[in-house]
Amino acid sequence: MRWFNGLPSSNLPRGQQGITLIELVLTIVIVSVAVAGVVGAFALVTSRSADPLIQSRATALGQLYLDEILARNFDLETPLGGGRVDPGAVDCAMTSGGDSSARDSYRTVGQFNNLQESPPQLGTADQQALYQNFSVAVTVTCAGADLGLANELAKRIDIRVTDNRGQNTTLSAYKGNF
Q: pLDDT tens, 86-137?
A: 666 677 766 655 566 778 888 888 889 999 998 888 877 777 788 888 999 9
Mean pLDDT of 132-151: 88
Question: Is residue 113 domain-shared with residue 88, that is, in the same domain?
Answer: yes
Question: Count of domains in the chain?
Answer: 2
* pLDDT over threshold 70, residue 170: yes
State whether 70 and 33 are in the same domain: no
Residues 89 and 125 both lie in one domain? yes
pTM for the complete prediction?
0.69
Domain match, 34 and 84 both: no
Q: Are residues 104 and 44 in the same domain?
A: no
- Does 36 share its domain with 71? no
Query: Is residue 98 a contact partner of residue 113, using CB atoms and an 8 Å limit?
Result: yes
Which one of 5, 29, 49 terminates a domain?
49
Q: How does DSSP assign 107-157, residue by residue? A: -BGGGGTT-EESS---SSHHHHHHTTT-EEEEEEEE-GGGGTS-GGGEEEE
Q: Which domain holds residue 30?
A: 18-49
Residue 154 has pLDDT above 70, yes or no: yes
Q: Is 162 part of any domain?
A: yes
